Structure 1
Amino acid sequence: MSDNHLGDFLRARRAAVRPGDVGMAHHGLRRVAGLRREEVAVLAGVNADYYTRLEQGRERRPSAQVVEALGRALLLDAAAVAHLHRLAGSVPGRPNPSAGGRVSPALRTLIDGYCDTPALVTGPALGILAANALVKALYSPFERVDNLAEMVFLDPASRRFHTRWDRTAEAVVGHLREAEGLDPGSLRLRALVDGLSERSTDFARLWDTHTVRGKTRAAKHFLHPDVGDLHLTYHAFDVRGAPGQQLILYHAAPGSPSFEALRLLGSIHAQPTVATTRSDE
């Protein structure tokens, strides 16, 4: 895993932009994928040698103005520009996600109260720090319910359970890229990425795209062996006072077949336990 996070990100995003995407004419064969360094420099209004130093890691602290210009040149969306700022160190007072490994008793009580809604708390490396009983029922096809990234890429049940596995995989990798920008020195995240890269060619390929994506809200379609199709919507909320932690809720429309399937799933797997917790991420 390279320590030149800024340069690696710029190089990968440059390769993803074609000259035609930014209104540049091109003729014949090109020796590089995407834009040339000189072309990015022109689009961003910076010196070509300076941009080369950024990619090579010889310069690692561009100004906020340069970061914004590079974001426009590389057609980055808001999440990717924010990630680029973090890599460049141009976001003041960024929190340290590694501090958020313990789930508060109040939050554990809250997620236990969602009887018809799977609710869990994740850390920055997508470790499951706490989960209510319905989450354990939902993920019962998996051998281990401890890290969402490892479950998606390493568990044999994943590709059948996630009916849109490709989208799920891309979202997971994008979230880990965002987490890397928030805490580039995280040993836990580095170990997770290294392990997944060695064991999953799909993860390694997606990681090299440097796509950044935060968890917010999206539709999910699961196929559970006990109750069949589950069409859910997930919502992710940052946990105040615990940087890096997110509360994730899976919601089914009341009265829908998926709502009834969740209730049935809960009754099938009902047992007198409270939310499981982990002391660290």
Structure 2
Amino acid sequence: MTTTHTTAADRTEQVPQRREELRAFLRSRRARVRPEDVGLPGRGLRRTPGLRREEVATLAGIGVSWYTWLEQGRTINVSDSVVESIGRVLRLDHAERAYLYQLVGLKPPEEKILENSALMHELERLVDAWSPYPAYVLDRWWNFVIINESAQAVFGLRGYGQNCLISFFTDAKYRSFFANWDTLAPQVVADFRGSAAAYPDDGRFTAIASELNARSPEFAKLWDQHDVRKESNGTKAVLHPVLGEMTFDHLVLHPSSRHDLRVTVHLPREGFEARRRLERLLESQPASSLRCL
């Protein structure tokens, strides 16, 4: 029997090959995603099929230059949370996501929570039926997996792969929608710590916190306070360019069979008049349906 040994020279030679495959893989996955699939306008002249690099970066909540370097195969540090975000934007299935982990030099997650298709379908129906009021569903790491049109229009959400926590602290446009951002920020960080505490062996929470510590001094200061809470409701004061200022009470629910999912529904305090304003806003928006992966 012949035994094959991998030498240091072999491994060195494999690095450029892996980077070339990473570049080709990301470009091919990006080309197959239609802009309208992720809530972007699909009309007009586009020199390349699918999504542009800057669109992938924006939807994933990462820098355009950083994503470009990744697609070029440059030597940069990549976290689990970034791989997950890119995987969601590019609509990768489980095998493709695991392959992306391998190409960037990370170990794929040992297990993946299987989504109950019947449950996800019912959650889609619930979220859509809640319109014209905003509603969405987050996974355990606070990535958006289902969003209705109202949430997209009211909070400036773009699509799948967007991480709620990362966008809240690093996306200037997203955070500008919250008139009470300074009040919400400590609660959001404490709530995320509470979510992470429920999964002590899940390193992706640590990866997300580490990424934000590096990117947001505001998050780093709040995270260092070690506040924790498990809140199921709250209030958001929204300052919208069309709606003006509106106040929403929101409630967080967890399906009994999927405690890792967070279903958040919103109700405006202004009553019937707020409903009419929301309906008029949706009527003025181009049709887009943001579905779960």
Q: TM-score, normalised by structure 2?
A: 0.56
In the alignment, what sits opposite 1:194? 210
- Conservation of the 8 A alpha-carbon contact between 1:142 and 1:151: no
- Conservation of the 8 A alpha-carbon contact between 1:235 and 1:249: yes
- Conservation of the 8 A alpha-carbon contact between 1:108 and 1:275: no
Structure 1 residue 194: Cα displacement: 0.9
In the alignment, what sits opposite 2:228? 212
Instruction: Give the distance between the partners of 2:254 and 2:228, measured in 1 at CA.
Output: 17
1:250 aligns with 2:266: yes
| Pair 101,170 (structure 1): closer, same or farther in 2 beyond 3 Å | farther
Structure 1 residue 127: Cα displacement: 1.1
- Conservation of the 8 A alpha-carbon contact between 2:143 and 2:160: no
In the alignment, what sits opposite 1:99? 113
Instruction: Give the distance between the partners of 1:111 and 1:174, measured in 2 at CA.
Output: 26
Count residues with an aligned counterpart. 181
- Conservation of the 8 A alpha-carbon contact between 2:145 and 2:160: no
Q: Report SS of the residue matched to 2:263.
A: strand
Instruction: Give the distance between the partners of 1:152 and 1:101, measured in 2 at CA.
Output: 26
Greater displacement, 259-268 / 179-188 = 259-268
- Conservation of the 8 A alpha-carbon contact between 2:152 and 2:158: no
Q: Report SS of the residue matched to 1:267.
A: helix
Structure 1 residue 253: Cα displacement: 4.1
Instruction: Give the distance between the partners of 1:140 and 1:167, measured in 2 at CA.
Output: 19
AA at the equivalent of 1:250: H
Instruction: Give the distance between the partners of 1:258 and 1:175, measured in 2 at CA.
Output: 28
- Conservation of the 8 A alpha-carbon contact between 2:250 and 2:265: yes
In the alignment, what sits opposite 1:177? 193
1:274 aligns with 2:293: no
Instruction: Give the distance between the partners of 1:130 and 1:138, measured in 2 at CA.
Output: 15
In the alignment, what sits opposite 2:150? 134
CA RMSD of aligned residues (A): 2.5
In the alignment, what sits opposite 1:156? 172
Q: Report SS of the residue matched to 2:204.
A: helix
Which is bigger in relative contact order (C-alpha 8 A, separation at least 6)? 1
Instruction: Give the distance between the partners of 2:218 and 2:247, measured in 1 at CA.
Output: 25
1:235 aligns with 2:282: no
AA at the equivalent of 1:238: H
Q: 1:167 aligns with which of 176, 180, 183?
A: 183
- Conservation of the 8 A alpha-carbon contact between 2:141 and 2:204: yes
Instruction: Give the distance between the partners of 1:256 and 1:140, measured in 2 at CA.
Output: 22
Runs of 4+ in 1 over 4 A off after TM superposition: 100-103, 141-145
Instruction: Give the distance between the partners of 2:186 and 2:160, measured in 1 at CA.
Output: 21
Contiguous gaps of at least 5 residues in structure 1:
1-97
Structure 1 residue 199: Cα displacement: 0.1
| Pair 245,100 (structure 1): closer, same or farther in 2 beyond 3 Å | farther
In the alignment, what sits opposite 1:124? 140
| Pair 270,233 (structure 1): closer, same or farther in 2 beyond 3 Å | farther
1:151-181 per-residue CA deviation (whole Å, 9 max, x = no partner) reads 2100112443111111211121111110121
Structure 1 residue 121: Cα displacement: 0.6
Instruction: Give the distance between the partners of 2:160 and 2:170, measured in 1 at CA.
Output: 10
Contiguous gaps of at least 5 residues in structure 2:
1-111
In the alignment, what sits opposite 1:29? none
Instruction: Give the distance between the partners of 1:176 and 1:169, measured in 2 at CA.
Output: 11
- Conservation of the 8 A alpha-carbon contact between 2:193 and 2:228: yes
